[in-house]
Structure 1
Amino acid sequence: MLTKSYKNFTILFCFILLFEILTANYYTKWHYFAKPALLISLILFYWYHCKSISQKFKTITLGALVFSLLGDILLMFVNESPHFFTAGLASFLLAHILYILVFLKVRDSNKKPWLFTGVLLVYGGCLFYIIKSNLGAMLLPVFFYMLVILTMATSAFLRQSSLGKVSYNFVLIGAILFLISDSLLAINKFYTPLAYSNFSIMFTYAFAQLFIVFGLLKQR
């Protein structure tokens, strides 16, 4: 299923994630190194293991990871200016669009997404209803962002199962974790502060990226 290098990297990744969570709460100066380290380590891992993947597929995936890294960095400065949140949102929007392109390159044309998409739309509609009164000028950007991430999750569902069970399941789990992480972030920012929000948001986000990268690397 997963080779020794994947397992060893997962252990390292968990240590970096723990370091990120601890520094966010107690050692804020180190947090500026810890948070970017998550995606930097993942980018390096993907780069090292993606030699057999086509150049176009590799470039788009790396683009998604780089825009995610940029989004992480921008969101660290939201207390300085609200424009950093908007810029971070735009970076993650581009990351999701690139992930959509990667997932749809191996779409199963026979697979019907209506039930899956319907469940996601109900979920997204309920979430948007909860937070919309507090969005203000961010209403349209957040609405558009939600549509894109729901599309990303749907495109993960539409991937070919023949790519391998591990690849398919990992990418789909990663996409759903990404959706959960962004939902927690939206509720925490636009509805009500959540207890242990940094842990829940970062845990789901970090493993979302990890599962997606592992899944794409395991793709046949």
Structure 2
Amino acid sequence: MKSKYWLVLFIVCGIVEIFAEATNIRALVLISKPLLMPILAGFAFFKAREMGVAVPGALFGALLFSLFGDVILLFASGNESYFLMGLVAFLIGHLFYIALNLRGKPKFRFDVEAIIFMLPILIFSGTMLSKIAEQSPTMTVPVSLYSTILCALFYTGL
């Protein structure tokens, strides 16, 4: 029952955050954005408790590093170092999500349907990377690594 309240709180906080971003109310963004991941963790904890299961530690790791990424990127405007730190935090969070997706799955599966499903994502990713390489060569390697992890996350989620 408590998970329902956490879910409502998450939705309300998400709406407030979207409103704050859309209306450029920076103070409200600084409050609402960092609350999203802890509230989502609270929802996961209480929902798992209601279901009588444990929350995988990797989920809390993913949410924690997503929180770090959100907070760091709040202060990244015009600062490439902060942007890269935020990127690394999200990358680590995505690695936790990949670990969650791989739990209980065979070590490797070659799934033709999944690869076909991935083609538009790979094409989009390649196109974006080529544009980034032209406009900001120093960002090519970090963004390529991040893009590869996102593609792996998507693939493991299929």
Report the TM-score range of the alignment, normalised by the length of the smaller protein: 0.7 to 0.9
Give the drift of 1:43. Answer: 1.0
Give the residue type in structure 1 aligned to 2:10: F
Residue pairs, 1:139-158, within 5 angstroms: 139-157=140-158
Residue pairs, 1:42-191, within 5 angstroms: 42-51=40-49, 52-54=52-54, 58-79=56-77, 81-107=79-105, 112=111, 113-157=114-158
Larger radius of gyration: 2
Unaligned residue ranges in structure 2 (runs of 5+): none
Give the residue type in structure 1 aligned to 2:81: H
Give the residue type in structure 2 aligned to 1:13: F
Give the residue type in structure 1 aligned to 2:47: H
1:15 aligns with 2:16: no
Aligned to 1:217: none
Could you tell me how far apart the structure 2 residues matched to 1:82 and 1:110 are? 38
TM-score by length of 1: 0.61
User: For residues 22 and 114 of structure 1, do their structure 2 counterparts lie closer, same or farther at Cα, with a shift above 3 Å needed?
Assistant: closer
Could you tell me how far apart the structure 1 residues matched to 2:38 and 2:97 are? 17
Could you tell me how far apart the structure 2 residues matched to 1:50 and 1:139 are? 40
8 A contact 1:50–1:58 mirrored in 2: no
User: For residues 26 and 124 of structure 1, do their structure 2 counterparts lie closer, same or farther at Cα, with a shift above 3 Å needed?
Assistant: closer
TM-score by length of 2: 0.82
Give the drift of 1:19. Answer: 1.3
User: For residues 110 and 23 of structure 1, do their structure 2 counterparts lie closer, same or farther at Cα, with a shift above 3 Å needed?
Assistant: closer
8 A contact 2:129–2:144 mirrored in 1: yes
Higher mean displacement: 27-36 or 44-53: 44-53
8 A contact 2:65–2:92 mirrored in 1: yes
Give the drift of 1:155. Answer: 0.1
Aligned length: 152
